[in-house]
Structure 1
Amino acid sequence: MDETTRQATRQWTLAQPAVSAFIASVVRDFRDRDDVLQNVAVAVVESYHSYDSSSPFIPWAIGIARRQVGLYLRRRGRDPLVFDDDAVACLAIAFHEEAQERSHALDFLQDCLGSLDGRAKTLIGLRYRDDMKPAAIASQTDMTPNSVAKALQRLRDQLRGCIERKSMEASV
Structure 2
Amino acid sequence: MQLPNTRVGFRSVIRNLCKAIEAFQTRMSEPTTTSDDYETFLRLFTRDQFRILSYIRSIVVQPHAVDDVYQETCLELWRSFSTFQRDGEFVAWALGVTRNQILKHWRTRDRDRLVFSDALLHEITATALEMGGEMSDRQEAMNECVKKLAIRQRELIHLFYGKKQSAAIIAEHWNRSVHAIYKALKVMRRTLFECVESKLGNETA
TM-score bracket for the superposition, by shorter chain length: 0.5 to 0.7
In 2, the alpha carbon distance for the partners of 1:17 and 1:48 equals 20
Native 8 Å contact 1:138 1:144 kept in 2? yes
Native 8 Å contact 1:59 1:96 kept in 2? yes
Task: Give the percent of matched residue pairs that are identical in Structure 1 and Structure 2.
Answer: 19
Residue 99 (structure 1) aligned with residue 132 (structure 2): yes
In the superposition, the TM-score normalised over structure 2's length comes to 0.51
Deviations 1:72-106 (A, max 9, x none): xxxxxxxxx987xxxx7x87654322122112111
Residue 11 (structure 1) aligned with residue 45 (structure 2): yes
Change (3 A) 1:93 1:140: same
Residue 131 (structure 1) aligned with residue 167 (structure 2): no
Structure 2: stretches of 5+ with no match in the other structure: 1-27, 29-33, 59-72, 101-116
Structure 1: stretches of 5+ with no match in the other structure: 23-36, 70-80
Partner of 2:146: 113
Partner of 1:122: 155
Native 8 Å contact 1:18 1:58 kept in 2? no
Q: CA RMSD in A?
A: 3.9
In 1, the alpha carbon distance for the partners of 2:56 and 2:153 equals 35
In the superposition, the TM-score normalised over structure 1's length comes to 0.59
Find the residue that maps to 1:50 and give its secondary structure. Answer: coil
In 2, the alpha carbon distance for the partners of 1:170 and 1:41 equals 34
Structure with larger Rg: 1
* Alignment map for 1:44-55 (pairs within 5 Å): 45-48=81-84, 50-51=86-87
Per-residue deviation, 1:50: 1.5
Per-residue deviation, 1:124: 1.7
